[in-house]
Amino acid sequence: MKTSLDLPDDLIKEAMQLNDSKKKTKVIVLALQELIKKNKVADLKSYKGAFDLDIDLDSLRNRSARFD
């Protein structure tokens, strides 16, 4: 999708240097991907403690040994 944006030059230049990129599009795509990832992780963290998992860690650790 082609879009016109008015972005601060200093932010784009700094992001390009940090990412060692020559293309503005690559930096913007990376920034959008990171924003999405950050928000998904935050959503997952909101579930912390919400589920009671009855897991026996000892049996999980030994599970691979049974298949060897």
Closest of 42, 18, 22 to residue 31, by C-alpha: 18
Instruction: pLDDT band for 14, please (50, 70, 90 cuts).
Output: very high
Q: How far is CA 18 from CA 14, 27, 29, in A?
A: 6, 9, 14
Tell me the pLDDT of the chain averaged across its residues: 87
Instruction: pLDDT band for 40, please (50, 70, 90 cuts).
Output: very high
Instruction: pLDDT band for 52, please (50, 70, 90 cuts).
Output: confident
